[in-house]
């Protein structure tokens, strides 16, 4: 009796490919130098707030010279759809002026303090952004402010000063706040998102690429022996208005050593730590 035919051998499954390690991503740190216009954000923020306050405030009547107020004048007013006579305080225009085109339509805040606060913030931002006070000078200014505050309180001069400020009446209508804030916000946004980003540094393993002015060609430096330093000693500009911003100083090495300043860098502490780590590390490329 013949032997039975042996069954065909099952082919072995193909061996799975050996996974290759992924190439590490090339690290890059971008540093943008912002203009001093960035520090003007409190002006347009407060301006928009004052716009809302003025909208829910009162109406401003624009009257010619010679207008005077007259109390308790009997006039015809509309009450619940009916015309009635009632006593009201009125403004009496000079002879020859018609009051039909002088209906109050300008929105304005109820209190003069709104305009005083806005102007004070505007002037304060102008001073802070144009008079840098670094390091010890910032603390000296603060100590002087505290010193004079205490002296004025001891001499009881604050009451006299506040009494004088009672006569300071600064008023801006809603349209004024809105126009100033809107134009400043559009300029701030354009400069922050487009204009400032044309002046930059890009740190990569082994090299630094940078552009110091709009329209300039990009310059490349070797990072060997390069050192960096952060400066944010201006308490008012860097910490209060800049929310932790600062200036970055980069020093290259070699025969043509250069010192480069990048002003008004946001989150300078975090980015400087990343730069230092990148300069200490070496680029590792995985082989097959």
What is the arithmetic mean of pLDDT over 73-101? 73
| pLDDT band, very low/low/confident/very high, at 18 (cuts 50, 70, 90) | low
Q: Read off the pLDDT of each residue in 10-36 and give the average, rounded to a whole number.
A: 65
Task: Tell me the C-alpha distance between 143 and 146, whole Å.
Answer: 5
- What would the mean pLDDT of 48-54 be, rounded to a whole number? 94
User: Which has more confidence, 19 or 93?
Assistant: 93
pLDDT score for 95 = 75
Q: How confident is the model at residue 226 (pLDDT cuts 50, 70, 90)?
A: confident
**pLDDT score of 118 more than 50:** yes
- Please compute the mean of the pLDDT values over residues 48-53 and round it to a whole number: 94
| Residue 89, pLDDT score | 75
φ, ψ of residue 243 to 5 degrees: the values are 50, 50
Rounded average pLDDT over 82-108? 75
Query: pTM for the whole thing?
Result: 0.73
pLDDT above 90 as % of the chain: 15
Look up the CATH architecture of domain 29-36+198-280. Answer: Roll (2.30)
DSSP-derived secondary structure letter, 110: S
**Average pLDDT score over the chain:** 79
The structural domains of the chain, with segments of one domain joined by +, span 29-36+198-280
Token pair, residue 37, equals 């216009």
Separation of alpha carbons 26 and 198, rounded Å:
22
What band does 180 get if pLDDT is binned at 50, 70 and 90?
very high
Strand, coil or helix: what is 191? helix
Give CA separation, 79 vs 73, 84, 86, 168, in Å.
Answer: 17, 7, 10, 38
Q: Which range scores top for mean pLDDT: 95-99, 150-154, 245-249, 284-288?
A: 245-249
């Amino acid at each position: 009796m013949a032997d039975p035919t042996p069954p065909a051998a099952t082919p072995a499954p193909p061996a799975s490919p050996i996974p290759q390690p992924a190439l590490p991503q090339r690290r890059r740190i971008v540093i943008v130098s912002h203009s001093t216009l960035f520090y003007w954000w409190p002006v347009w923020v407060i301006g928009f707030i004052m716009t809302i306050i003025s909208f829910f405030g009162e109406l401003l009547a624009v009257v010619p010279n010679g207008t005077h107020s007259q109390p308790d004048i009997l006039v015809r007013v509309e009450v619940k759809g009916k015309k009635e006579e009632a006593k009201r305080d009125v403004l009496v225009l000079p002879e020859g002026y018609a009051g039909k085109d002088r209906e109050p339509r300008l929105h304005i805040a109820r209190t003069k303090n709104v305009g005083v606060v806005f102007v004070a913030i505007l002037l304060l931002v102008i001073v802070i952004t144009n008079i840098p006070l670094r390091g010890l000078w910032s603390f000296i200014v603060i100590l002087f402010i505290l010193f004079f505050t205490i002296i004025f309180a001891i001499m009881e001069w604050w009451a006299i000063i506040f009494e004088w400020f009672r006569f300071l009446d600064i008023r801006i209508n809603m349209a004024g706040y809105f126009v100033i804030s809107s134009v400043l916000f559009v300029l701030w946004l354009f400069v922050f998102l487009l204009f400032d980003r044309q002046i930059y540094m890009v740190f990569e393993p082994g090299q630094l690429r940078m552009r110091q002015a709009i329209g300039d060609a990009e310059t490349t430096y070797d990072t060997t022996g390069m050192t960096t330093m952060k400066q944010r000693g201006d308490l008012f500009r860097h910490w209060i208005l800049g929310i932790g911003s600062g200036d970055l100083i980069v020093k290259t090495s070699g025969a043509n050593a250069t010192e480069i300043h990048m002003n008004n860098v946001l989150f300078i502490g975090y980015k400087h730590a990343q730069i230092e780590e990148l300069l200490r590390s070496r680029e590792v490329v995985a082989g097959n």
